[in-house]
Structure 1
Amino acid sequence: MDVADLVDTSTGRQSRSIYSSEPIYRQELERVFGRCWLFLAHTSQIPQPNDFFRTYMGEDDVIVIRQKDGSVKAFLNTCTHRGNRICRADRGNARSFTCNYHGWSFAPDGALAGVPLENEAYFGELDRSKFGLVPVAQVAEYKGLIFGNFDPAAPSLEDYLGDAKFYLDVWLDALPGGTSLVGETQKMVLNTNWKLPVENVCGDGYHLGWAHAGAMMAVQSMDLSGLSVGNSSANLEGGLSVAGLNGHMALTFLDGVSGYAFYPDPKPMLDYLEANRPTAIERLGKTRGEQLWGSQINITIFPNLQFLPGLNWFRVYHPKGPGQIEQWTWAMVENDMPEEIKATILDNQCLTFGLAGLFDNDDGDNLAACTEQSRGWRTSQMDVYTNMALGRSGAREGFPGDIAAGLVSEHNQRYFYRRWQEHMQASSWSDVPAYNLNSLASREAVDA
């Protein structure tokens, strides 16, 4: 399907049909989810040999398995005999995976290990080497995050992430102990198109004081009145909207402490930041160590991974059709944190985001309505707009990316739909442009 006229990044226009069309959705499964690097699991979820974690890549059911040598492989969770699911558990440790239908079993390395009545029914003529599990073409890790890619021609994970690593490392590498996901997977089905929650978190600071006014008043412990309902003097210089990084984005405060604004008692977290700030500065440099580590940051890895250091939630959106997603959420902690702070983070994450989260209930209702209101014969012909602050972005000293000042902007959303359109129009990875705008590396090379 030609999507050239469905998105216009120069005006911020999107056709509502991209949220409801089944042909567009099928093309997304091929050209977005079938081509991009997708988050599979955190290393903390499969620490030992034969540990496995079950997840999705688009709508493809996948098992991620730690191998005996410590490496990680991923396979389609489908029997190569008649197509049944071979693993029904969400996670665990297994020496083999056996199909409930006919009893074919597979080893953790994907090899076909056992076939009932192999000699009697197949007369010893079955070539097991041709019936192993189908592997995910590429699997790679970045500082605890394991990704998979169906396309063997895709760029490396390092190249795919590009300069987004500058922002990722604020959470993944600020302290030497690394990170972990804690708590069980919080799964929630929402009747929304998958693109809407991604763009809501990637750059929509506009909705905070309106959609979340009640939740903010209920839980915030620090002054965020600049984003409150009816306020006409929000501090537009208090943060950055960062895009132009191969489709990845960051929305961030710059104060080094606002990440813990939504905790009933932020003092233990603020004490933790103060005690570890010198280490973060040493590892990340002054700009990130002082201004970003500890700030509230919304990080988006295109197409469907997001996490928020500070509120400390980590999330992936699995599409289940043009009008539905399964949203998976965890709490994320730094391993060097005291156990009592880790417990507080998990409690607060469940309070704010997740199945009973105050903020997710607000967002879920709004995003479901936006999806439903794009399904009609007439409404599907209409457009929506992310045209706030058009043409007001550029380079900022010390930060990579095309950057718009402030948290109230639709700059990031425009880049999200630009990247979506680039993938949807490309017939292969060779047609997908790569760009890390205002890269620090290039600027340093010019200065040298």
Structure 2
Amino acid sequence: MKAQKGPVLRDGTTVESLVDLQMREVKLRALSDPEIYEIEQRKVFGKVWLLLGHESEIPNAGDYVQRHMGDDSVIVARDRAGQIHVNLNVCPHRGMKITTHEAGNAQVHTCIYHGWAFTNSGDFLGAPVAEECMHGKMLSKEQLGLQKARVQLYGGLIWATWNIDGPSLEEFLGDTKWYYDMLYTRSNKGLEVAGPPQRFIVRGNWKTAGEQSAADGYHTLTLHRWLGEGAGAYQSEEAKKAGEELAKEMLGAEVSSPHGHALRCIDLARKIKKLTGKDPAELTVEEKLMALPPPGMTADMVSQLKENLTAEQIQVMSWMPPQVGGMFPNIIFEFLYIPQPDGGVVGSLALHTYVPKGPDKLEFTNWIFVERDTPPELKKQMIEQSVRLLGTSGMVEADDSDTWPHMTLSAKGAQGRNSTMKYQAVYETGAPKGWPGPGIVNEGFTKDDTQWHWWKYWYELMMADE
């Protein structure tokens, strides 16, 4: 008899039984069960690296924002030396939140309940009526500081984890970092946020959004069909009606990761031919990049790529650059080339996180980015376009956020919870000829591999010993 492994739910169901590794299926119950949600807080959000924001949100000493690592509120703050710290927003005295503000500037954070005070690095300073020693003598001041997360910056993005002795961020990103570098570390001055992130609540389980973020391109053909019917600048009228050109946007290379990260690298050949009138195969890498610079960059900025990327990465940037994808567990990025009525192209750069707020609720958080060096007029165009398309009320996200509550409700039904999500469209191709990048790479029309790797890593974490 096979020995049970991993958590067992109160009704005797094992987490192991929710994922069929052979058939590549996941039971819908995984999207709604409160017990699974509680286990995830420890085994997923308590173990992996989580994205909390961007350093340009807190540029000055004392600047801070309140964010969440799973269910836990944290303070993300910059100290006098410029270092960024992430501390649990829970007073060690009686459990009150240290700050209830979303953002601000403070050199000292003081709990409103009993006045215990802490530095931006989380160290305990003292309590009122110092002569009475109201913090007691059983613990030293060093022992009364806020719980500190492990912090690392990458491309200006602020990452943190409670897994103090676990894998580094580089190990967590693995081979996919080679591709993320093309987005976040490609320019001399890097990215900056275009204001505070937008946020709204969706009545859906966080995994409905998380697994879609693992490079699900297939849904674009139906859920976002309007992109091909009305917003495409490269289609004939016949192709618009048939949706053929939108299907071509699903061609390219997809990168999977054992840690659930994913990237869709879309072929630029049609766009470059449209802009230049020439066969891209006859153009050099530099000529292609000058004709169609990376989203958010101008032709004058293309030379910066050589200072920050390898020749192989630049080759991919001019050929099939990463444009959409995810970072496990709850992140999607979009670095898109959006055609304009005048025949040009304007980039849209956005990044979303889906913060769990309960088994059937998530907080959609959206950052819009621009390159610091981008000319002001282009920045303005990019921001306006990104808000319209990718903002919390944007046309694309209005589509996506409509599906997640329905999936969550389906997962609550007595019959529905035993239905399965299927990831059985499998790549059989391998990487494009001459592809220089690492990782699990496949060419062709989008398939289910990237999302299945997302679920496999979720399963691995859920089954791991604590």
Over the aligned positions, Cα root-mean-square deviation in angstroms equals: 2.9
* 1:306 and 2:306 aligned: no
3-state SS in 2 of match to 1:312? strand
1:317-336 aligned at under 5 Å gives the runs 317-336=354-373
* 1:369 and 2:406 aligned: yes
Paired residue type of 1:69: A
Aligned counterparts of 1:236 and 1:222: Cα–Cα separation in 2: 11
Q: CA deviation at 1:257?
A: 8.8
Residue 142 and residue 124 in structure 1: after superposition, are their counterparts in 2 closer, same or farther (change >3 A)? closer
1:66-105 aligned at under 5 Å gives the runs 66-105=78-117
Paired residue type of 2:207: K
Aligned counterparts of 1:226 and 1:403: Cα–Cα separation in 2: 33
Q: CA deviation at 1:72?
A: 1.7
3-state SS in 2 of match to 1:23? helix
Tell which deviates more after alignment, 405-414 or 281-290.
Answer: 281-290
Aligned counterparts of 1:164 and 1:296: Cα–Cα separation in 2: 10
Aligned to 2:4: none
3-state SS in 2 of match to 1:400? coil
Gaps of 5+ in 2: 1-6, 8-13, 275-290, 337-347
Residue 270 and residue 59 in structure 1: after superposition, are their counterparts in 2 closer, same or farther (change >3 A)? closer
Aligned to 2:352: 315
| Identity rate, percent | 29
Paired residue type of 2:394: G
47, 60, 67: which is aligned to 1:48?
60
User: What's the CA shift string for 1:148-193, capped at 9, x where partnerless?
Assistant: 1101221111211111111111111222121112122100111111
Q: CA deviation at 1:403?
A: 2.1
Aligned counterparts of 2:38 and 2:152: Cα–Cα separation in 1: 26
> Across the two proteins, how many residue pairs are aligned to each other?
421
446, 453, 463: which is aligned to 1:408?
446
Aligned counterparts of 1:110 and 1:81: Cα–Cα separation in 2: 14
238, 246, 266: which is aligned to 1:253?
266
Query: If the length of structure 2 is used for normalisation, what is the TM-score?
Result: 0.82
* 1:280 and 2:332 aligned: no
Residue 225 and residue 330 in structure 1: after superposition, are their counterparts in 2 closer, same or farther (change >3 A)? farther
Paired residue type of 1:252: C
Aligned counterparts of 1:328 and 1:227: Cα–Cα separation in 2: 35
Residue 333 and residue 232 in structure 1: after superposition, are their counterparts in 2 closer, same or farther (change >3 A)? closer
1:73-152 aligned at under 5 Å gives the runs 73-120=85-132, 122=134, 125=137, 127-136=140-149, 138-152=150-164
Q: CA deviation at 1:124?
A: 7.0
Aligned to 2:248: 235
Aligned to 2:465: 427
Residue 220 and residue 184 in structure 1: after superposition, are their counterparts in 2 closer, same or farther (change >3 A)? farther
Are the counterparts in 1 of residues 294 and 317 from structure 2 also a CA contact under 8 Å?
no
Aligned counterparts of 2:39 and 2:412: Cα–Cα separation in 1: 18
Query: If the length of structure 1 is used for normalisation, what is the TM-score?
Result: 0.85
* 1:344 and 2:408 aligned: no
Paired residue type of 1:163: D
Gaps of 5+ in 1: 429-448
1:215-234 aligned at under 5 Å gives the runs 215=227, 217-223=229-235, 231=243, 234=247
Q: CA deviation at 1:202?
A: 2.0
Are the counterparts in 1 of residues 296 and 374 from structure 2 also a CA contact under 8 Å?
no
User: What's the CA shift string for 1:3-31, capped at 9, x where partnerless?
Assistant: 22222344221111110111111111111
